[in-house]
């Protein structure tokens, strides 16, 4: 059947194209370098999270551990970086500002 052969060929081409695109995206991600703008954006997101946590009914310690876990999961906070660590004192300071 001609239709079956055309579908197989077209499907193969589309798979190759999709695979090439995925590989290119992986290469681009590896080459990306974090800049100062990325760090500033991360800090503003951290402050936004702290304001949200401080206005809710969580304890300071629970809010701090939750915020630190979220930052680590999305890749902003690393174990060696002290600037992105959220502790309960930061949460308390944000509560006082509100």
pLDDT digits (tens, 9 = 90+) for 20-37: 988 888 887 776 656 666
Q: Is the whole model's pTM more than 0.85, yes or no?
A: no
pLDDT at 19: 92
pLDDT at 1: 41
Structure tokens, 88: 């309960």
Q: At what angle do helices 36-54 and 88-97 cross, to 10 degrees?
A: 70
Burial class (CB in 10 A: 0-12, 13-18, 19+), 92: middle
With a cut of 70, which residues of the chain have pLDDT below it? 1-6, 31-58, 76-84, 95, 98
Q: Which residues contact 9 (CB under 8 A, 6 or more apart)?
A: none
């Amino acid at each position: 059947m001609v239709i079956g052969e055309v579908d197989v060929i077209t499907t193969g081409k589309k798979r190759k194209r999709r695979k090439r695109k995925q590989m290119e995206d992986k290469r681009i991600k590896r080459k990306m370098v974090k800049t100062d703008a990325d760090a500033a954006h991360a800090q503003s997101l951290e402050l936004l999270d702290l304001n949200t946590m401080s206005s809710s009914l969580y304890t300071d310690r629970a809010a701090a551990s939750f915020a630190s876990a979220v930052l680590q999961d999305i890749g902003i906070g690393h174990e060696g970086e002290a600037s992105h660590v959220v502790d309960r004192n930061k949460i308390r300071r944000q509560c006082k500002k509100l």
